[in-house]
Chains A and B, each alone.
Chain A
Amino acid sequence: MTGDDATLARLMRAAQAGDRQAYTVLLEETAKWLRRYFHRRIGPEKLDDLVQEVLISLHAKRSSYDPSRPFLPWLAAIARYRWVDHLRRDYRTRTEELSEDTATTGDAGDVVLARISLDRLLDQLPPAQAKAIELVRIEGYSITEASERSGQSKALVKVNIHRGLRKLSALIEKAN
């Protein structure tokens, strides 16, 4: 099974019609796609939680998918929404360094597409805001460590995180 858009859209239409088998396959493929999508954009120990949150959101909001449109842009919007929501939460536990062994075994083209998608979202922020968010909310550094690494004062790191996350939430549907 390849998780191309046409196949996923067909499965989603069947799932909206109540086809349990198609829904199971769709959710499995979606979970794989999401793991690739969030790769290196969330701490490894948080990845499964985030994937599960998106799956629950997909289920709760599946009627909002328009069957006449592609599936992946809809899924990506929900995934971005949950990702930004996740970044917003105030977790203080330091995450582990992102390591190579979290690398995906999925299709390389998909990985590039997914990375571009979330990277492009961050690219739309001013560099200082994107850096602060990446260091603290994605890579798990403390405010003090992020301040040292970025050259920003601690207060500025906090302000940049706050403003950056607010801006990100307004950019969720922006195209790559």
Chain B
Amino acid sequence: MDDATRDLIDRIAADAVPVRPLQRGQGLALAGLAFMVTILAVLFLLGARHGLLHDGVSVFFVLVNGLLLLLGIACILAVVTMASPRVGSNHDGPKWAMAMVGVLPAAGVFAAYRPGAGPVVDLAGAECTVMGLAASLLVAGALFAWLRKGAPVSQRLAGLYLGTAAGAMGSVAYGLSCPVDTIVHLGIWHVAPVAIAGLVGRYVVARWLRW
């Protein structure tokens, strides 16, 4: 061993203070807490949509938000795992969930061109996208802080999953206050935050995950 490496080892070892290993459960709890706080904030600030607790929601509401919730959970699990790298880890699971959610906007566009459907582009829809993005910030912050503590070695993928998770959870949280139940509205405007946040994560946030 050369002298420089020897010296380095001595210097590093001298700094052998105890550290608390990253626990996967803590990362999941952090993301879960951020999601719960977001839901409470949405309900407190915007109020619950009509019929939320009394069986007054459509099947599209359950379908779209259920798929978004599953996508968000899959991405959160992947992001939390990516903070502790390991050769042999596979992070492909969320890609299948993304593909499934990708069917929703296609269904929304398909439905929009059927006779009697409302307009595809409307101000309320754009507002839902903006609010969904705003509601994603807390989960995004929690996952970003977790990844910064860890050692993600695939930053682009980690950024993509971080953004997708935050967008999906934010959209679900905001969806609790949105009264519109059509597949055109939910499939397009409530999925848009997921795509936007995913792209921001992949192309912007990923740069700040380097170490």
Residues of A in contact with B (beta carbons under 8 Å apart): 15-20, 23-24, 27-28, 31-32, 48, 51-52, 55-57, 59-67, 69, 73-74, 76-78, 80-81, 117, 169-170, 172-176
Given the complex, which residues of A lie within 8 Å of B86, measured CB to CB?
66, 69, 73-74, 77, 173
Q: Is the CB of A175 within 8 A of B5?
A: no
B17 CB-CB contact with A under 8 Å:
yes
Given the complex, which residues of A lie within 8 Å of B2, measured CB to CB?
48
Whole-angstrom CA separation of A61 from B152 in the bound complex: 10
Number of A-B residue pairs, CB cutoff 8 Å, is 120
Return the contact of A20 from the options B5, B16, B88, B150 (Cβ within 8 A): B16
Q: Is the CB of A61 within 8 A of B87?
A: no
A67-B21 contact given A15-B16, A73-B88, CB 8 Å threshold = yes
| Closest Cβ neighbor of A68 among chain B residues | B21
User: Would you give the shortest CB distance from B17 to chain A, in whole angstroms?
Assistant: 6
Whole-angstrom CA separation of A164 from B46 in the bound complex: 49
Whole-angstrom CA separation of A67 from B19 in the bound complex: 12
B153 CB-CB contact with A under 8 Å:
yes
Given the complex, which residues of B lie within 8 Å of A57, measured CB to CB?
151, 211
| Closest Cβ neighbor of A174 among chain B residues | B87
Q: Is the CB of B12 within 8 A of A65?
A: no
